[in-house]
Amino acid sequence: MSSALGVLRYERALTGPITLAHIDLPTNDFNSLPRLIDASPGSYLVGQENVWPVAAGRSHVGQVFPHASVDLGWNANAIHWMSENFAAVRDHGWAIFSRETEARRKVEDRLARHWIEFLSARSRELKPGGRLVCQFMARREHRHGFEYIADVFWASVEDACRDRIVDAGELMAMTAPSAGRSAEQARAPIAGS
């Protein structure tokens, strides 16, 4: 954030107040964030003037800010999470690794729809010339990159199920609604624009 503020101040010559808004789901625990921003020696407020942090409990899948009001959007490690567990499976902790073709198809569809909705919302919010930086889980054509750890996790859940520590209902509730996008999937909505 300090680097982003530096860019806005010096490269874009923004001299006035800067509002820096933190967005997360309404269910997020926002308690620690303001304390960190106020008290941490590593806070982005250190050495800054006229910077105004705020937080909003809204989903980034929809529009959060007024039309053409944002200079710089930053989304870290969040857009690979889908808003609900819509494809619970009993054979893995991630539906994208399930043997159920239909579950995998649902994940791909939802990833694509979310990405388009997310980008559409940001395109309405950004000022002309505004920028968006997104960091999210990626994947290759045939590999996601976290198969090993995901399989080890699921083997331990199956052990817990066999030992009756976890029951069948709890097992179904353990499908994580997340998956990576390939470079092609990431480019799809903006290809040719």
Give the binding site for ligand SAM (CB under 6 A): 23-25, 28, 59-61, 76-78, 81, 83
Return d(Cα 88, Cα 71) in angstroms, integer.
38
**Which of 109, 25, 29, 110 has the alpha carbon at shortest distance from 62?**
25
- The identity of residue 84, as a single letter, is E
Shortest distance, CB of residue 78 to ligand SAM, whole angstroms?
3
Q: Indicate the residue among 137 and 161 with the shorter CB distance to ligand SAM.
A: 137
Residue 141: phi, psi to the nearest 5?
-60, -45
Q: Indicate the residue among 36 and 172 with the shorter CB distance to ligand SAM.
A: 36
Shortest distance, CB of residue 167 to ligand SAM, whole angstroms?
27
**Alpha-carbon dihedral 82, 87, 91, 95, rounded to 10 degrees:** -40
**Sequence-distant (≥ 6) Cβ neighbours of residue 77 within 8 angstroms:** 135, 136, 137
Q: Indicate the residue among 88 and 134 with the shorter CB distance to ligand SAM.
A: 134
Element (H, E) at 144: none
Region of 60 please: left (phi>0), alpha (psi -120 to 50) or beta: alpha
Q: Indicate the residue among 46 and 76 with the shorter CB distance to ligand SAM.
A: 76
Shortest distance, CB of residue 64 to ligand SAM, whole angstroms?
9
Shortest distance, CB of residue 58 to ligand SAM, whole angstroms?
7
Partner residues linked to 72 by β-bridges: 131
Q: Indicate the residue among 50 and 77 with the shorter CB distance to ligand SAM.
A: 77
Shortest distance, CB of residue 119 to ligand SAM, whole angstroms?
13
In 3-state terms, what secondary structure has residue 14?
Answer: coil
